[in-house]
Structure 1
Amino acid sequence: MKSNVYLFTKFKNGSSLFVLVYVNDIINTGDSDDAILLVIQQLNIKFALKNKGELHYFLGVQITKTASGDLVLSQEKYDKDLLKKVDMEHCKPCSTPLPSSIKFSAFGGSTFKDPKLYRSVGSLQHLTVTHPELAYCVGKVSHFMQNSLDEH
């Protein structure tokens, strides 16, 4: 089994602790406040930490804590910013953005007017974190980054 070198976990006496490291940002969470505080204290001995308080936004993902303590992940702000970037903030949602039976061609049709914008498909790939239903269509359109047409 492969492991994620950025996520550290500790399970002891029925308690769970998770430490996620991304460049110079650290998310520390678990079901024991004492264990979380201990990790912060230990890390602070070796590194100059800056506690930014409760987690609300990380790598384009909004984090909201419910009254029961559950965490809800959302990319609503990221979604809206991306739609605004491509001048589609007034578009209407649909349940299936792309039928699986559609066949695209790399030839024929009109060339997409802004290839640089089309090639920013990585922004869409990031959306699949909280929108897995987009994975198929994002993968499909990413095949045409070198020769993007209006139909794509």
Structure 2
Amino acid sequence: MAYILLYVDDIILTTSSDDLRKFIMMLLASEFAMKDLGPLSYFLGIAVTRHTGGIFLCQKNYAAEIIDRVGMSSCKSSAPLVDTKQKLSVSSGVPLEDPTHYRSLAGALQYLTFTRPDISYVVQQICLHMHAPKTKHMNALKRILRYLQGTLHFGLHLYPSSISSLTSYTDADWGGCPDTRRSTSGYCVFLGDNLISWSSKRQHTLSRSSAEAEYRG
């Protein structure tokens, strides 16, 4: 069995045996100009570190570049991102002079959630306002960056596991959006002991109770 992950001209190849890997690389090299970079260590901004228990995926450098883009490299880190206040509204503050800058940062943070499930919810909240960002939306975005400043070393651990079953967890608020009264669903999926999928998303329809919101989630 072999898996190939291809993005433009960057390739990750993993196989069930070393002989199969060499055979596939020989076939590819006969058709395309290729270079073997050895064991996976870096791919599209994601650093891969092997340890005795498995592998660790981290986007530390990518996160630092986002913070530096805003000129916040020397900022103090903020407290953990806990949802204790009312969610952002479309009327929060005054319109930004340069909404393109906000959209660029929000998009960059979306890519960072590939290895940072801890920021999925708050990034989803700021991305809801990319069409017309206001000053309070930018303040919320910068709070995420201050949180990242103190957690650059965070990432995703993957371990060998004897468990092959899928386990899912899901939850939802009720009418949390102050503008539409729609609810927000969140889920995470584990394969054995490893977190492999997660999401936070506003529901498409209105729910008349918390039970209905959780059922839709």
Query: Shorter chain as normaliser: what TM range?
Result: 0.7 to 0.9
Match of 1:117 among 93, 96, 101: 101
Match of 1:59 among 25, 41, 44: 44
Residue 76 (structure 1) shift: 0.5
| Corresponding position of 1:26 | 11
Partners of 1:69 and 1:36 in 2: how far apart?
23
Structure 2 gaps, min length 5: 138-217
Verify: 1:45 aligned to 2:47, yes or no: no
> Higher relative CO (CA 8 A, sep ≥ 6), structure 1 or 2?
2
Match of 2:59 among 72, 75, 95: 75
Q: Deviations over 1:36-94 (max 9, x none)?
A: 2121112222222222233322111111222x383221001111111111122223043
Partners of 2:35 and 2:95 in 1: how far apart?
49
The change in CA–CA distance for 1:37 and 1:94 in structure 2 (over 3 A counts) is: farther
Q: Partner of 1:37: helix, strand, or coil?
A: helix
| RMSD across aligned positions (CA) | 2.1
Q: Deviations over 1:110-132 (max 9, x none)?
A: 33343221111110100110111
- Kindly indicate whether the alpha-carbon contact (under 8 Å) linking 2:92 and 2:136 is maintained by their aligned counterparts in 1: no
Structure 1 gaps, min length 5: 1-9, 11-16
| Corresponding position of 1:13 | none
The change in CA–CA distance for 1:88 and 1:45 in structure 2 (over 3 A counts) is: same
Residue 143 (structure 1) shift: 1.4
Residue 28 (structure 1) shift: 1.1
User: % of aligned pairs identical?
Assistant: 34
Structure-1-length-normalised TM-score: 0.76
**Match of 1:87, as an amino acid?**
G
Verify: 1:85 aligned to 2:69, yes or no: yes
Partners of 2:124 and 2:84 in 1: how far apart?
12
Q: Partner of 2:48: helix, strand, or coil?
A: strand
The change in CA–CA distance for 1:32 and 1:106 in structure 2 (over 3 A counts) is: same
| Corresponding position of 1:146 | 131
The change in CA–CA distance for 1:30 and 1:70 in structure 2 (over 3 A counts) is: farther
Matched pairs, number? 135
